[in-house]
Amino acid sequence: MVFAVSSTATVVEPPKVLAVREVYVPPEAEKSNGRVVPIQHPEGKNVDFGAEIYGIDLNNFTSADFALISNALHKHKLLVFKEQPQMLTPQQQYRLTACFDPDEKTGGFAHGADPVLLSENRVTIYGLPNRPAINAQPQVHILGRGEVPENHFDFPPGFKIKGIDHVNFHIPPHIPQEERNKGASRFYQWHWDGSLYNIPPPRVGCLLAVRTPKGPDVTVHWGDGTGRTMEIAPGATAMVAGSKALELLDDETRQIVLHSRIEYAPHAFQWMSTARSTQLGHTLETEGKEVPLDELRPWSQDKVCIYPMVWTNPVTGEKSLQVHGQGAFKLYLKKKPDGEETVVTDLKEVRDFLHKVMSPVLSPENIYAHPHQEQDVILWYNRALWHSITEFPESYGPRIMHQCNIAASDHPSG
């Protein structure tokens, strides 16, 4: 998951990365024992994605297992692996994620090299306070909030993951602390994973639940004046389908996004680090607070990402609206394939358009909030879903998740 943070720490070479071929691969089975069970969403929901997987031990998956997993993922877009006999190891989490992109040779983290976070007792930890890397497999990071378990890899005793706080990122009014303590929550940032500059966004994301918060459901508040709310499990990951977002547009707007492109800011997360998000977490408020381009880390125009607004599933052919509203810098709009292209550079106009195309799907009936269970693993198709972390009371305890995403071998091409 991507968060609007920046770091001035010096970037150094990370620890040695295990290649896929260096991970033990068990003897192949002729047929997978995996079972795919589509998630049954409650009545009134318009969510049409997600499946649970039983019978596959991800610490020992075979090529037949992966064939089943790959087919199921492209069809269902989100997979939940249940009844795992042991916690998924970072090495196997990396192997599972990397198998989706055999042409990717570097095995690099999707946001580039991590800075040094701390160094003590001859142990160096890389990453950021809200996503430190696991040295045994540096593409696997710890997300969430709170203290990691005792003797958790190389992390020192009492090491805590810094959690997100909408007060530090969203425009006011913010939810009062006393209400947050009772379970009032926000969507923090609707996005798909990717650096938005130079590095191709991952094909898939993978998340292992190590520790989950314990407490009653929380109430997510839209904060956009509509009064909408949604009850979800604490620490849930909220998801919507880009295909549903495309479907909900009026015919004229749908034709525009089908033929248009979006340009993201150079070093987009540094650029937005001083700006503020709308309360729904889908775009930035236009206040002129972005870091000026000439004050960003060195960048070049040839590494700026310009992507189609609509991406196609290579297996099913399904089309999904995949836009990152907060990192957007310019729009290239066309009403038809051979039509005249209009370039939109005014940031308020850019964000108004993205609000128009993103907000219809961001309604409770279209959102699946996954209730993480400890030792379960979720795998999602990053090029077809948007997701957001959600807040929960600190009294509910830690949320410790292992996430792996790997830079892809290709940029999305529609």
What pLDDT score was predicted for residue 251? 98
How many H helices and E strands in the chain?
Answer: 7, 23
CA distance 394 to 396: 5
What pLDDT score was predicted for residue 12? 34
- Strands 237-241 and 218-221, sheet pairing: unpaired
Helix (H, G, I), strand (E, B) or coil at 405: coil
Q: How far apart are the first and last CA of the chain?
A: 22
What pLDDT score was predicted for residue 13? 39
Q: What is the maximal distance between C-alpha atoms in the chain?
A: 62
Q: How does pLDDT run along the chain (414 residues), one tens digit per residue?
A: 333 333 333 333 334 444 443 444 445 547 999 999 999 999 999 999 999 999 999 999 999 999 999 999 999 999 999 999 999 999 999 999 999 998 887 777 767 778 899 898 888 999 989 999 999 999 999 999 999 999 999 999 999 999 999 999 999 999 999 999 999 999 999 999 999 999 999 999 999 999 999 999 999 999 888 899 999 999 999 999 999 999 999 999 999 999 999 999 999 999 999 999 999 999 999 999 999 999 999 999 999 999 999 999 999 999 999 999 999 999 999 999 999 999 999 999 999 999 999 999 999 999 999 999 999 999 999 999 999 999 999 999 999 999 999 999 999 988
What pLDDT score was predicted for residue 8? 34
Residues 144/399, Cβ–Cβ less than 8 Å: yes
Tell me the pTM.
Answer: 0.91
Query: CA 256, 260, 262: angle at the middle one, nearest 5?
Result: 130
What pLDDT score was predicted for residue 28? 52
Question: Cβ of 58: how many Cβ atoms within 10 Å?
Answer: 23
Residues 114/139, Cβ–Cβ less than 8 Å: no
Phi and psi at residue 278, in whole multiples of 5°? -60, 165
Phi and psi at residue 252, in whole multiples of 5°? -65, -45
What pLDDT score was predicted for residue 413? 87
What pLDDT score was predicted for residue 27? 52
What pLDDT score was predicted for residue 355? 98
Give the DSSP letter string of 351-404: HHHHHHHHGGG-SGGG-EEE---TT-EEEEETTTEEEEEB---GGG--EEEEEE
All domains in the chain, ordered by first residue: 35-405 (3.60.130.10)
Estimate the crossing angle of helix 251-258 against helix 347-358, to 10 degrees.
Answer: 120
Question: Cβ of 241: how many Cβ atoms within 10 Å?
Answer: 26
Helix (H, G, I), strand (E, B) or coil at 162: coil
Nearest to 161 by CA among 146, 151, 150, 149: 146
Taking only the tens place, the pLDDT of each residue in 51-103 is: 999 999 999 999 999 999 999 999 999 999 999 999 999 999 999 999 999 88
What pLDDT score was predicted for residue 110? 67
Taking only the tens place, the pLDDT of each residue in 347-372 is: 999 999 999 999 999 999 999 999 99
Give bridge partners of residue 368 from the DSSP assignment: 239
CA distance 41 to 323: 25
CA distance 54 to 74: 17
* Tokens linked to 391: 């807040």
